[in-house]
Amino acid sequence: MTAVQHVTQGRQEYYEALRTLSQASLDQHFEAFRDIAWDDAEMQVREQDDRFVLTDADEIGRHPWYKALPRERQIEVGTYRYAQIAKVGRQFEQILIAGVMHHLIRMENNNPEFRYAMHEVTEETHHIQMFQESVNRSGADVFGASRSWTRIAPLVTSAGSWFPELFFVGILAGEEPIDHLQKSIMRAGGSHPLIDRIMQIHIAEEARHIGFAHQYLEHHWPQLGPVKRRILTVAFPLVMRWLCDVIMVPSKQDQCAMGIPPEVAKEIWWESSDSKKLLRDLFGDVRMLADNLGIRKGPARLLWKRLGIDGESSRFRSAPSSARG
């Protein structure tokens, strides 16, 4: 097989994978106000509802500070925490949509990336709606992402046009941590039925979105010039670590509203041995991707270690920590 034939075959396989993803989005998709029974009795958010108590699947819930709180306060903090996660998820997906629109504006005709990306955007709009509706119904006036992030974020979306590969790294940097957190909560038995239903929908559709980002980067990496490759090699772990904090660490305002003491917050994010392990575990799948791209080696590997996100790669996507190595 010649080099040209190999490239053509690779493109055909990639495009066929995108067509499969598009068909999957057509066959199974959810709408925020059709597929969640918002007004059912079990879905109602009530005061002092034990179903909002955080489990060990949440990094706040497993900390001794939270476990020592009176039951009433555990419920209050848990209710606020789920709303805070939803608000940040809503804000991140707004940025995702804006960046993807920048990316698609100049896309050529007959490219299957356009159709699947639009399916993803459609699904993300419903995620935004269900996240915000859950915040509204929680009664918690959560702040969401930090002021600095909300000011910088509109500028970040332009990367979807001038450096889409870097923007897709950013997509994974936001999607992988929240996907890990939601799966951990569901594996631990779930929480309030409304939260569980939202997470079920989000996990199901994010699997396709994350898969697209992985395939996009693997397909386009060989086409990058040497300068962009060097930039992406360094930027990859930096973006992962930066956006991980945006997604996983509540803003100072939300930490204050939950009453989390500063010294406890430092332990939870990311000073204790338990939290350092969680930080590493969040990035098993992206380490696998970086290894497939050949960018987690040499001096770049030292950066991964310095940022606290190095470790064993997943053997397959969404592998639990015990299945790595």
CA dist., res. 257 & res. 263, Å (int): 15
pLDDT of residue 4: 41
pLDDT of residue 321: 61
pLDDT tens sequence across 173-227: 999 999 999 999 999 999 999 999 999 999 999 999 999 999 999 999 999 999 9
Question: What is the mean pLDDT of the segment spanning 302-325?
Answer: 79
pLDDT, residue 7, reads: 55
Report field, pTM of the whole predicted structure over 0.85: yes
Q: Higher-confidence residue: 137 or 4? A: 137
pLDDT given for residue 125 in this prediction: 98
Domains delineated in the chain: 31-323 (1.10.620.20)
Nearest to 101 by CA among 121, 72, 126, 81: 121
pLDDT the model gives residue 315: 79
For the stretch 244-260, pLDDT in tens is: 999 999 999 999 999 99
pLDDT of residue 319: 65
Residue 4's identity, in one-letter code, is V
* CA distances from residue 200 to 35, 195, 205, 216 in whole angstroms, order as listed: 11, 9, 9, 25
pLDDT of residue 235: 97
Q: What's the average model confidence in pLDDT over 162-170?
A: 96
Q: What average pLDDT is seen over the chain? A: 93
Where residue 10 falls among pLDDT bands split at 50, 70, 90? confident
Q: What's the mean pLDDT in 74-82?
A: 97
Q: Which residue has the higher pLDDT, 155 or 44?
A: 44
pLDDT band at 8 (very low <50, low <70, confident <90, very high): low
